[in-house]
Homo-oligomer: A and B are copies of this chain.
Amino acid sequence: MKKKVTFADIAAETGFSKTTISRYFNHPDTLTTENLKIIEDTVKKLGYRENKLARVLANGKSEIIGVIVPTLYMHYYADLLSHILSAGDAYGYKFLVFCSDENREKEKGYLKELLAYNIEGLLVVSHVTPSQELAKLGIPVVTIEREDKYVNSVNTNNYQGGIDATTLLTEKKCEVLIHINADLKKCSPAYGRIRGFREVSETSGTPYCEYLRKFGNDYQEIRRVLEPVFQDIEEKYAGRKKGIFISNDTVANVFLNMVITKYKMLPEEYYIIGFDDSPISREAVIPFSTIRQDTTALAYSAMDILVKLMNERKKRVPVITKTLEHRVIDTKTIIRGTTK
């Protein structure tokens, strides 16, 4: 392994000073074209490779953003991460990625680690660290779809999504409206889906009910929790036109499968709509209706806010705004075979 080529080597070789070499990379316009050429050739000849770490130490700009996601097993988070990476890439940022598994202590360690690497900003999708703590980190923070009282954030318009989903069901003249969801905390953005459902149900005067259950991540577990719910619905609302709004496509798919397994088809009296527009909503035997979360917009908006904040910090006289920005991204109703 040959030693690394540094500015000093290029300087020695060309007769310029290290400063000039630095300028060649950072302010090439301040050099004469000939000198530019000379250095360029030498850089190639010696096979120079940048050392960003040394640069960070000198000027503090790491170009690194920290990301903490809860897990990558669920498509939604992987999808989000993928858009985050591509959004940041456009600005030249790199990402140190951590999966917290929603473990509070683990996440604490990751945050410490992230700060040790001089990250310029932080994107948090995981839910376990209260925003109040994130706000104390001393760097720009933006969260996506989680509690965000003390930090900047981007969230899906869950409320509107809930309204749209439920309205679609009332328009189809469903005789009873049913909402299946996790038992969410009121501070969670996704709680808006429940609010939307309730509002439309109330104002439309249609009978409605909610099944708020704790579903796990595992298919079998979801099935186990959902089975009695399905039974209950079958018994209580037999013969009535049911509009079912399920707050997540994975669960919606399991439900749909149960219906189809029982009837060998989707009975007229079932109207089903999910949430997220995950691949499964298209890949199901009967592609089902859903409320699309615009993960692309979520990621790009988050990056937009973050970049703005990070840029502000780089100015000579940073104006650290205390005002928080909370953006809301609209959903889109995707109509497929289960609400026709």
Interface, chain A (partner B; CB < 8 A):
1, 49-54, 56-57, 62, 64, 71-73, 75, 78-79, 81-82, 85-86, 89, 94-99, 101, 112-113, 115-118, 138, 219, 250, 253-254, 257, 260-261, 264-265, 279-280, 282-285, 318, 320
Contact = CB atoms under 8 A, between A and B. Distances in A.
A279 B71 CA distance: 15
B254 A52 contact: no
Contacts of A115: 49-50
B94 A117 contact: yes
Contacts of A257: 283-285
Contacts of A1: 138, 318, 320
A95 to B, nearest CB: 6
A285 B254 CA distance: 8
B53 A118 contact: yes
Contacts of A62: 53
Contacts of A49: 112, 115-116
A101 B82 CA distance: 10
Contacts of A52: 113, 116-117
Contacts of A64: 96
Contact of A283 (B78, B86, B101, B280): B280
